[in-house]
Amino acid sequence: MTDVSILSLAPFRDGETFTDAVDDLVDLAQRAEKLGYSRYWIAEHHNTPYLASSATSLLIQRVLDKTNTIRVGSGGVMLPNHSPFIVAEQYGTLASLYPNRIDLGLGRAPGTDPQTARAIRRHQDDFAMNFPSDIKELQFYFGDDDQGKKVRAYPAKGLHVPLYILGSSTESAYLAAELGLPYAFASHFAPRFLTQAVDIYRNYFKPSAVLDAPQVIAGINAIIADSDDEAELLSTTSLQFFLNVVTGDRSGMKPPVADIERHVPPHILNMAKSMMACSIIGSPATAKEQIEELQSRIRADELMAVSYIHDKAKQKYSYELFADVVRSL
């Protein structure tokens, strides 16, 4: 059976404060736990006024403290921004306080613009070049063997916190396959190489001490309602979110707009829609057909949903319907 999970960027709705966005994040995690979702991941973004996900580990701790069983993790830690040693100490601490509930998703991108990336880690220019070696360093810190080294990240030693490789390109697929680690593809905003990357990952996968067979998580936009028309209307909030990304608009998540396409230049609209190409939008019956078509191509072990829905009750209902549909397959 395909697992279901959630990725949150901790977005602000129009008019909300930072505290409001964090409260929404926690509230949704509690609902996800009641619905039986496998995991709840929180992204890392910087210098983005409409996202509250700049200090991911702190938000993870907040969610862990307010839930009981659901796995919580980073989706992900943008490793070029951080010292692997500090990451191991932080997530080792979380894993010690909340045993068997921590995931550590790792990304190669800085999660921000170049200027902000330099402000985060000024001393390093080749942000992505060290990504493979940084992952291996993390594996050492979470492992049992000292390998004759004097520097260890406590309390990470021996905790074996699960690592996941995040990616939006074929390059990340080769790396995840080589390391024998689970692979999470960011098709919720960069769907172009999804099928190709998943095929590469499976074809080149090497079994490891942590994983015998490939494990694929696919990010999707999921907006499900009682009718196709209602879901299409609700999805215009997601469309506006991606239009903001394309145009550089830094405002919060907006209510749905019925005639939005009339007000957006076609080339801008097409760019935003291309980012949403991996989306499940419709009634439960329509969503089931769309998921079946997607799974016929990628056979994901887990579908990780992102739902930018302005109305909080309708967002929770969408996640409930999504879980029901996936479990019915």
Closest CA to 306 of 23, 20, 18, 43: 43
**Residue 273 included in any domain:** no
Inside any domain, residue 65: yes
- Cα–Cα dist 228/273, whole Å: 18
Total count of domains within the chain: 1
Inside any domain, residue 146:
yes
Q: Is residue 249 part of a domain?
A: no
CATH of residue 210's domain is 3.20.20.30
Contacts (Cβ under 8 Å, ≥6 apart) of 270: none
Q: What is the pLDDT of residue 7?
A: 99
What tens digit of pLDDT does each residue of 155-206 get? Answer: 999 999 999 999 999 999 999 999 999 999 999 999 999 999 999 999 999 9
User: Helix H segments across the chain?
Assistant: 18-34, 56-66, 84-97, 114-120, 131-142, 170-179, 194-204, 228-247, 266-275, 284-298, 312-328
In a domain, 252, yes or no: no
Q: What is residue 121's predicted lDDT score, i.e. its pLDDT?
A: 66
Which structural domain range is residue 122 located in?
3-224+279-328
Give every residue of the chain whose pLDDT is below 50, as ranges: none
Report the C-alpha gap between 319 and 322 in whole angstroms: 5
pLDDT, tens digit, 9 for 90 and up, residues 281-290: 999 999 999 9
In a domain, 147, yes or no: yes
Please state, rounded to an integer, the average pLDDT across all residues of the chain.
Answer: 94
pLDDT at position 35 is 98
What is the distance between the terminal CA atoms of the chain, rounded to a whole angstrom? 8
In a domain, 270, yes or no: no
pTM over 0.85: yes
Give the Cα separation of 197 and 210 in Å (integer).
21
Q: Is residue 231 part of a domain?
A: no
